[in-house]
Amino acid sequence: MIIDKILIGTTNKGKIREFKKLFKDLDIKVLTLEDMPEKIDVVEDRETFLENALKKAKEYANFYKLPVITEDAGLEVELLNGYPGVYSARFYKIEFGGVENIGDGETKDEANIRKLLRLLKGENNRKARFVSNIVFYTPESFGLWTEGYLYGRIAEEPKGDKGFGYDPIFIPEGYNQTLAELDLEEKNKISHRGKASYRLKKLLAKILK
């Protein structure tokens, strides 16, 4: 299979930055949705990370006529029966645990973090894991998918400014720092997205000739 361009199907600037670094050694031009002249809105309404990633991949590949890499990822907290899960990006506004309003000058990420810390206040069981499902899909209906996990615990308060999402309150196993306190290179070595991307790169290396 000969491919000279791949579209990264996300508008999340943090994910774009990580994907570009992870795939920089592939001899392929990496495009993002911001490079596309036309925009489409894909609703993530499936019940699993993989189903959401596959839905996005198929719709972007068919619309833009390009090979696409998409991901759905999120945080699963043991005490909350797996929540936020597929609702990770919009956890602050779902009914589970009560809606958390966004304050003036506050981001959605900060509202998500505030809600999660509120639900875990005073709890000893703070076990959690990040999950990533990545899909590679072409307009010819050829696809691959991989997954990655990062286990750890939820911190008592946010620390660090290098990450995004829940990174400021997630402490990986074997570390005393949150993901937001780690350099991007170090984070990519251990992260759920890094692991899933590495597995995808190994698969792509076998088919991209």
Q: What strand order describes the sheet that includes 127-137?
A: 29-32, 5-8, 68-77, 127-137, 143-154, 170-172
DSSP label at residue 84: B
72 is catalytic: yes
Closest CA to 167 of 52, 73, 71, 46: 73
**Two tokens, residue 17:** 């930055």
As a whole number of angstroms, the distance between CA 152 and CA 149 comes to 10
Q: Which of 72, 104, 109, 167 is catalytic?
A: 72
Q: Which residues are catalytic?
A: 72
